[in-house]
């Protein structure tokens, strides 16, 4: 009778298995529909960022749809001018690519000669002289064979047979090759074209969407939902705007330094280095690469490269330790372990875009947990 009256632990395994199935389905859905969800998340973040601008324009007694149209037009104009400046610099850079390729080839040849010299020096130190004298005749016999191979490799290749020429002539034309290449980017371009419209509708229908969202809840839950909405909006706005301002400051400082040292394409390299510096964990090496590559045709000695790398690293550390806590860190309270796991998870699901969106998405989840009483322990787990 005691065995029959004992409760059987059935509910917990069922609930845990249901939780695992739900999480697995959610992860699969996020991966399969990643382009759709990335577009929605980017549109929501942009709408949160532009919302203060809409409210500012509405002070001139303009209706919300017209104010939203004005702000979206200004944002698109800014992106157009930015893209035009980048295109101008890139077109000039493309014309100068032969100089960069020659310089890179010289560096590779010099590095190869230096490695051969080091290898010979190490060989002379390690191998005794009597063994080297014994191996010298064998190396003299092998050297003519190497020279013959080099001459054969330097000779121009024989013209292909007639059959191979026919096969090459039957390849698809250039336009078809370009179309096949662009077809892989079709989905990305299609989803990107929806972003301006989504942002405009989110801004113009913001009040209606908020009221409709709050109508889904009753009593105290409605107040909690309102606080959660505002918390996510303020957090996303603070994170993105803070990072943007920090990137602008780094871009200005880097561009001014690159102009001072006469670095080519400093207008293009400065912003690229400044904003790459904001990438979590790998921002420092990424920010050093563009100015080093731009300096290849200019400097032959090692000292200028060390100065450029040290200065960029100084800007990065100064921004990370002094400016970032004031502009961004005061709003986003996430511990480093959670940030690392979030970068790994969203980077695995959504690639490079996931690395950019990992922190704001995780911070939004924390904002939801902080405002829901039952989920507050999870918010503390994510917090710093």
The full set of domain ranges for the chain reads 34-83, 110-151
Q: What is the pLDDT of residue 264?
A: 83
pLDDT tens readout for residues 44-87: 888 888 888 888 888 888 888 888 899 889 988 888 888 787 77
Q: Does 22 score more than 70 pLDDT?
A: yes
pTM, rounded to two decimals: 0.66
Q: Does 363 score more than 50 pLDDT?
A: yes
Q: What is the pLDDT of residue 3?
A: 45
Q: What is the pLDDT of residue 10?
A: 44
C-alpha 109/C-alpha 86 separation (Å) is 32
Q: Does 314 score more than 60 pLDDT?
A: yes
Query: How high does pLDDT run on average in the chain?
Result: 76
pLDDT tens readout for residues 117-154: 777 777 667 766 656 556 555 555 545 555 555 555 45
Residue linked to tokens 């032969």: 98
Assign 158 a pLDDT band (cuts: 50, 70, 90): low
Q: What is the pLDDT of residue 14?
A: 53
Which residues 6+ apart lie within 8 Å of 104 measured at CB? Answer: 296
Q: What is the pLDDT of residue 168?
A: 47
What's the first-to-final CA gap in the chain, in angstroms? 52
């Amino acid at each position: 009778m005691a065995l029959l009256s004992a409760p059987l632990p059935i509910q917990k395994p069922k609930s845990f298995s249901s939780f695992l199935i739900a999480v697995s389905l959610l992860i699969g859905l996020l991966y399969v529909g990643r382009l759709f969800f990335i577009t929605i998340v980017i549109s929501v973040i942009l709408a949160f960022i532009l919302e203060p601008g809409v409210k500012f324009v509405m002070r001139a007694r303009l209706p919300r749809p017209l104010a939203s149209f004005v702000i979206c037009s200004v944002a698109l104009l800014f992106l157009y001018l930015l893209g035009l400046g980048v295109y101008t610099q890139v077109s000039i850079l493309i014309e100068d690519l032969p100089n960069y390729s020659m310089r890179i080839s010289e560096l590779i040849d010099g590095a190869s000669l230096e490695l051969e010299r080091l290898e010979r020096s190490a060989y002379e130190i390690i191998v005794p002289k009597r063994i080297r004298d014994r191996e010298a005749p064998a190396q003299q016999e092998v050297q003519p064979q190497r020279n013959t191979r080099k001459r054969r490799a330097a000779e121009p290749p024989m013209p292909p047979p007639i059959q191979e020429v026919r096969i090459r002539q039957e390849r698809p034309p250039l336009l078809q090759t370009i179309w096949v290449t662009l077809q892989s980017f079709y989905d990305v371009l299609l989803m990107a074209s929806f972003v301006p419209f989504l942002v405009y509708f989110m801004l113009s229908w913001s009040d209606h969407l908020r009221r409709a969202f709050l109508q889904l809840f009753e009593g105290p839950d409605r107040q909690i939902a309102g606080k959660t909405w505002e918390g996510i909006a303020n957090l996303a706005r603070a994170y993105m705007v803070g990072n943007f301002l920090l990137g602008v400051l780094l871009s200005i400082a880097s561009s001014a330094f690159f102009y001072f040292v006469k670095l080519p394409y400093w207008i293009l390299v400065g912003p690229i280095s400044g904003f790459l510096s904001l990438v979590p964990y790998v921002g420092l090496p990424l920010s050093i690469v563009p100015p080093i590559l731009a300096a290849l045709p200019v400097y032959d000695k090692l000292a200028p490269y060390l100065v450029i790398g040290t200065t960029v690293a100084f800007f990065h550390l100064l921004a990370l330790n002094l400016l970032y806590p004031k502009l961004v860190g005061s709003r986003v309270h996430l511990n480093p372990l959670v940030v690392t796991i979030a970068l790994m998870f969203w980077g695995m699901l959504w690639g490079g875009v996931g690395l950019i969106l990992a922190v704001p998405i995780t911070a939004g989840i924390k904002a939801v947990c902080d405002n829901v009483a039952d989920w507050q322990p999870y918010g503390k787990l994510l917090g710093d």
